[in-house]
Chain A
Amino acid sequence: MKVKLALAQINTKLGVVESNLEKHLDYIQRAKNEGADLVIFPELSLTGYVLQDLVPTVAHRATADDPVFKELLATSRDIDIVVGFAEEDVRNRFYISSAYLSLGKVAHVHRKVYLPTYGLFDEGRFFAWGDSVEAFDTRFGRAGILICEDFWHTSSPYLLWMDGADLFLFTSASPGRGLTSAPELSTAHWVESINQAYASIFTSFVIHSNRVGFEDGLHFWGGSTVFDPNGELLAKAPLDDEALTYCEIDLNQLHRTRARLPLLRDERTALVQRELMRILKRDDSRSGR
């Protein structure tokens, strides 16, 4: 089975959801016209990234009666959509979330589980931590969503892998940093390397949609990518510019790669569980939460 992906590498207007929604609808329409099956927007694509005190004023719920999601759901009847937004739950906690919309319904919402709060990042100050990493079924097989810092922790894609995901949908609003003599920023190099590594070691498709543009002095570098289960780069969006980048993937590649390299078959989950239990029971090992 072949699936035509569209990486919607957009710039956003900080805190202006209506204007960002309009851009989403435009990109979605263009992707539909090109016969794409799934269009993937970056992290916080409806709101912009450094929201700070804007968070409560731009948050939405992924429900059919929400004015923003109503429009997105209507357009998702003939194309699947991954969209990033600030989510307010029923008890008024705010999350960095990505929703998977398909056939007019919300198929899945992932809430970012790792909120970087160090260096230039201050997400933990403004957002609540998501509590689950779950795969979900789509028209194209089982998929999983991770948001930026989530996939800097190997446990997150590992959990998705164990939960049956063959399509890893990663979204980011990655501020570029690390100007060296190399032709790309260090961030671009780091992110691309780990995406490629995950595709190889999980023998899965790894699809990454990153945003572009500026917020104050922060610069988002784009360079969205698709890697196949062999770790081969299938598509790469331009650096720094808005783009709708198409990539057809052949899901049968999963069969071919895993026949050659049965890492998933040989994964010893019970051993992992045993060892984790042992490690976590140790009195001197209480790190993490």
Chain B
Amino acid sequence: MNGLDINTDLARSILTGFIRSETTRSGFQKAVIGVSGGVDSAMSCFLAAEALGPENVLAVRMPYKTSSQDSLDHAQLVIDATGVQSVTIPITDMADGLINQFPDMAKLRMGNIMARCRMIVLYDQSSAFGGLVIGTSNKTEILLGYSTQFGDAASAFNPIGDLYKTQLRQLAHAMGVPQVIIDKAPTADLWIGQTDEGELGFTYAEVDKLLYLMVDERYTPDECVEAGYDRKFVETVVKRIQRYHYKRVMPPIAKLGNRTIGYDFLYLRDWGT
């Protein structure tokens, strides 16, 4: 049995239940999702539409001037397939307002600005639409730190963050996400020609199997090598997981008092809901 195989009916029912619970218990009925045209945001959008009703979900398309037409079109496919409400808010002007002040800006820096502009738009729409921002990061990219802190990684809650990309594709297929979106090369589309797998240097299919062994099955790096993985690949992944851990935790607070937020002031986020 492949450990990455999931029962999609079960995942679907737990995740829609989670979205309903986290939304309604904090007094909301609605959700806002940045829909990029990729499979991750498509998945969150399909789940939210099923959990809350499509009329209660706002899909936001946020193209930058270099964004590909495919991204916009595929986002529209998601909107049409789910029947959710939608709005298109280009981020070119707001992003360029900062980018143009620094003529030699590296593309990674520009990409981070775009991701954070989208976060601002989503949280603004959250207020305007009266819905919570639903996350669209999967387990693979969270572990590899392949995201912009306070950018695409920002959300009120995340239904898909415990699904590896490979598992997410299974669920996407089962829930009827358009095949073209499932099959296309994953990309942050922050610059022309960018692909996740090109930037990372390995495929999701490969790294998901390795991450599953290391994280879920608690294999040591040496055991992963014994299981047939290239040592260099294993070391790259281990390093990435450690190096980007800061993106997965709240910023640490310097402890001074007897009770400090994050150390000994411990409550679930659901406290009081």
Contacts and interface: CB of A to CB of B under 8 A. Distances in A.
Interface of A: 14-15, 50, 52-54, 176, 179-185, 213-217, 219, 240
Contacts of B7: 179-183
A7 to B, nearest CB: 20
A287 to B, nearest CB: 22
B268 A214 contact: no
Given A176-B14, A180-B1, A185-B10, A53 B267 contact: yes
A205 B273 CA distance: 37
11 contacts: A14-B270, A52-B267, A179-B7, A180-B3, A180-B5, A180-B7, A181-B5, A181-B6, A183-B10, A217-B162, A219-B18
A213 B272 CA distance: 15
B17 A240 contact: yes
B69 interface: no
A184 B271 CA distance: 29
B70 interface: no
Contacts of B264: 53
B18 A14 contact: no
Nearest to B3: A180
Given A215-B268, A217-B18, 7 more contacts: A181-B2, A183-B7, A185-B10, A213-B21, A214-B17, A217-B157, A240-B17
A217 B17 CA distance: 11
Contacts of A219: 14, 17-18
Nearest to B11: A179
Interface of B: 1-3, 5-7, 9-11, 13-14, 17-18, 21-22, 157, 162, 264-273
A54 B162 CA distance: 27
Given A176-B14, A181-B1, A240-B14, A216 B9 contact: no
B268 A50 contact: yes
Contacts of A214: 17-18, 21-22, 270
A185 B9 CA distance: 11
Most buried by A among B6, B11, B13, B268: B268
Nearest to B1: A181
B210 to A, nearest CB: 18
A214 B3 CA distance: 25
Nearest to A52: B266
Contacts of A185: 10
A182 B266 CA distance: 35
The 5 closest A-B pairs by CB, nearest first: A214-B21, A52-B266, A181-B5, A216-B268, A53-B266
Contacts of B9: 183
Contacts of A181: 1-2, 5-7
A185 B270 CA distance: 23
A266 B134 CA distance: 59
Contacts of A50: 268
Nearest to A221: B14
A213 B22 CA distance: 11
A210 to B, nearest CB: 15
A44 to B, nearest CB: 13
B253 to A, nearest CB: 16
Contacts of B162: 217
Nearest to A178: B216
Contacts of B157: 217
Contact of A54 (B1, B13, B21, B267): B267
Nearest to A16: B272
Contacts of A240: 13-14, 17
A212 B112 CA distance: 40
A54 B267 CA distance: 7
